[in-house]
């Protein structure tokens, strides 16, 4: 019996995408942290869902199946991530996201080649070894490799900015800056809904997506908002609560835990949500089956 209060964390990442911890270890850590309901929402892949279910049964942690789709609001030129929960047909979503994975891999290979040409003694084979177990090579893996090679001691410090800074009117950007073409955010929500899932807009204030909400509801059937997240302070949470009440949306929350690949210390379960909203999530899912 745990002495810690039970928590729910519906936003964390494993080594299957850009987290540093294997799924089984992540579920074990959740149990030790008092997180008894967990959603591992790896980016653009559902490859780890079966392993998560098995580990959940082993450690007594309730697993809510999920994904985080890396999408884009092309009307406003902003990233917009969408969380999908309790999908009846997760493989449909995984296959639809496969082009994103392919683009990300090609971009990462280009980044490594660019760094090598710039004088960094980094190779694609070494980075692939660092990223073993992931569906993709991410910037986190490249930075991890550079740390191992002695170029930096921080994952997201000065070197990260030097390499990956976004171009602006005042500067040309990092030498390895590159963006891929992501799925349209409206299509991402529709994709999750078509697969029988519950679609939630991730960290909407952190990504400046609040004005997108009514459009996603009307045009794509958005179900909820992520309120509790490391990028949201109390004022932001209250603003999201008001928006959810206005439109009758459910709320979720999570730590966005990536292990050692977090930009700053970020504990699993640090942005937990109450059991009331877990129940609402399941009720919404049940009601959709009868529509």
Q: What DSSP state is assigned to residue 214?
A: H
The domains found in the chain, sorted by start residue, are: 7-95+181-288 (3.20.20.140), 98-164 (1.10.150)
Residue-level pLDDT at 1 = 35
Q: What DSSP state is assigned to residue 48?
A: T
The Cα 111–Cα 105 span in angstroms is 10
Residue-level pLDDT at 3 = 46
- Collapsing DSSP to helix, strand or coil, 20 comes out as coil
Which candidate, 81, 3, 5, 35, places its Cα nearest to that of 268? Answer: 35
Say what the pTM is.
Answer: 0.95
Low-confidence ranges of the chain (pLDDT < 70): 1-5, 169-170, 289-291
Q: What is the pLDDT of residues 259-278, one digit of tens each?
A: 999 877 788 999 989 899 99
Is-contact 159 142, C-beta < 8 A? Answer: no
């Amino acid at each position: 019996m745990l002495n810690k209060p039970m928590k729910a964390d519906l936003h964390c990442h494993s080594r299957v995408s850009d987290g540093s911890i294997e799924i089984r270890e992540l579920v074990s850590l959740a149990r030790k942290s008092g997180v008894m309901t967990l959603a591992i929402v790896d980016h653009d892949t559902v490859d780890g869902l079966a392993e998560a279910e098995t580990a959940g049964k082993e450690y007594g942690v309730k697993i809510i199946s999920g994904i985080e789709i890396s999408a884009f609001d092309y009307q406003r030129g902003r990233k917009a991530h969408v969380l999908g929960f309790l999908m009846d047909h997760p493989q449909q979503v995984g296959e639809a996201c496969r082009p994103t994975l392919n683009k990300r891999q090609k971009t990462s290979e280009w980044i490594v080649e660019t760094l090598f040409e710039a004088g960094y003694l980094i190779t694609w084979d070494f980075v692939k070894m660092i990223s073993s177990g992931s569906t993709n090579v991410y910037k986190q893996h490249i930075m991890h490799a550079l740390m191992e090679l002695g170029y930096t001691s921080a994952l997201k410090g000065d070197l990260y900015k030097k390499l990956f800074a976004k171009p602006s009117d005042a500067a040309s950007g990092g030498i390895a800056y590159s963006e891929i073409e992501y799925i349209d955010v409206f299509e991402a929500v529709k994709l999750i809904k078509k697969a029988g899932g519950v679609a939630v807009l991730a960290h909407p204030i952190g990504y400046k997506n609040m004005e997108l909400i009514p459009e996603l509801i009307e045009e794509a059937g958005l179900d909820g908002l992520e309120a509790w997240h490391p990028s949201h302070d109390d004022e932001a949470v209250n603003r999201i609560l008001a928006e959810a009440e206005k439109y009758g949306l459910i709320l979720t929350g999570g730590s966005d835990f990536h292990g050692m690949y977090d930009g700053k210390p970020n504990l699993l379960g640090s942005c937990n949500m109450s059991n009331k909203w877990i129940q609402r999530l399941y009720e919404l899912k049940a009601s959709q089956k009868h529509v």
